[in-house]
């Protein structure tokens, strides 16, 4: 393909309710969209970076600057040789910045697959037609608020509940949810790196609640600490922020730092690398599931395609559009009986609604070769 232009568009989309984790509270998503216009088709992608570098070192302003000034010139240099499999190689001289790289690669991949008439799920090797949907539940000020929220999500049909936790908000809310909704509820917790090795015995007290997993309890760079923690707690350890590539996933598995891995395509550099992580974990007998970054329907559609691969045996964090947005950028992604259908249209299977996109756009720049 030849690239005619790349559009970088910033969109502000409010959340239906504030979303609080151990690293802060979000009331809106500052979304960077990448639109690649080629001589054959156009492709869309969403950058997973947040407004501030709190989940990872990447953030939206930085990602936009990096894509425009560092990544796109390298992409343009490929000329008509460009294809999605070549993007990672072209961008490799730039260190890190996997979310920015993922957005560029995904937009190219979307255009390429649209031109070929192939859905992303088919391209990646998806075998399922639907993804089982779980929901990530914010930290609340009071336990009764949390219980009301969980009750509402269960009534909506979500099949797994994930509670965000932090020091001071862990044992009591987990105990309350387990007591209220019973042992049959699929329940897990996510700390977003809020604890240290010194908290091992405290975290072991979560064992009594029969959780599916404890996600990323320690700092992302403390893989050895997670291996130590896994010898103290019985609840399976799941890694999120620590896994940034298939290589890092291999090391985490080899050292016993995790029993489960959350795969976020943006975090590992794109859907092609996410497939490599999936394949590695499947070969090693490590269950995986698709995590989320409060994506709009653009990123959510692509995540659904990934979630159809056979190794994704645990409920995902891919929720329906109305979990986060009163009006999504795309046609709403709906959940039926706890499951969401994987798109079958060519490419990622989702594109912005023009009027909604214009209404929510706060800035736009076009970069040409």
Task: Give 361's strand partners.
Answer: 11
Contact by Cβ (8 Å): 142, 70: no
Cβ-Cβ contacts under 8 Å for 154 (sequence gap 6 or more): 161, 181, 185
Active site residues: 164, 264
């Amino acid at each position: 393909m030849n690239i005619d232009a790349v559009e970088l568009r910033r969109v502000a989309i409010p959340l239906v309710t504030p979303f609080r984790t151990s690293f802060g509270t979000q009331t809106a998503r500052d979304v960077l969209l990448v639109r690649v216009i080629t001589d054959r088709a156009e492709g869309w992608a969403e950058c997973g970076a947040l407004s501030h570098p709190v989940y990872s070192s990447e953030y939206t302003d930085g990602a936009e600057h990096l894509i425009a000034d560092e990544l796109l010139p390298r992409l343009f240099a490929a000329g008509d040789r460009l294809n999605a499999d070549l993007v990672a190689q072209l961008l490799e001289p730039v260190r890190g910045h996997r979310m920015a790289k993922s957005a560029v690669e995904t937009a190219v991949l979307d255009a390429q697959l649209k031109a070929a008439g192939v859905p992303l799920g088919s391209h990646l090797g998806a075998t399922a037609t639907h993804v089982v949907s779980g929901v990530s539940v914010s930290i609340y000020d009071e336990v009764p608020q949390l219980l009301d929220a969980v009750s509402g999500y269960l009534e909506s049909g979500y099949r797994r509940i994930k509670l965000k936790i932090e020091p001071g908000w862990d044992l009591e809310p987990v105990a309350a949810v387990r007591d209220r909704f019973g042992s049959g509820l699929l329940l897990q917790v996510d700390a977003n790196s809020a604890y240290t090795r010194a908290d091992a015995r405290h975290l072991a007290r979560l064992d009594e609640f029969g959780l599916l997993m404890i996600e990323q309890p320690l700092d992302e760079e403390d893989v050895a600490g997670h291996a130590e923690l896994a010898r103290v707690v019985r609840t399976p350890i799941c890694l999120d922020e620590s896994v940034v590539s298939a290589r890092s996933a291999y090391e985490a598995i080899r050292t016993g730092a995790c029993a489960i891995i959350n795969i976020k395509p943006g975090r590992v550099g794109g859907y092609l690398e996410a497939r490599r992580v999936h394949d590695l974990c499947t070969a090693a007998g490590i269950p995986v599931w698709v995590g989320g970054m409060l994506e709009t329907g653009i990123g959510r559609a692509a995540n659904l395609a990934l979630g159809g691969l056979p190794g994704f045996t645990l409920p995902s964090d891919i929720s329906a559009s109305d979990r986060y947005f009163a009006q999504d950028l795309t046609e709403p992604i709906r959940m039926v009986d706890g499951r969401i259908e994987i798109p079958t249209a060519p490419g990622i299977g989702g594109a912005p609604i023009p009027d909604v996109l214009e209404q929510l756009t706060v800035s736009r720049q076009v970069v040409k070769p």
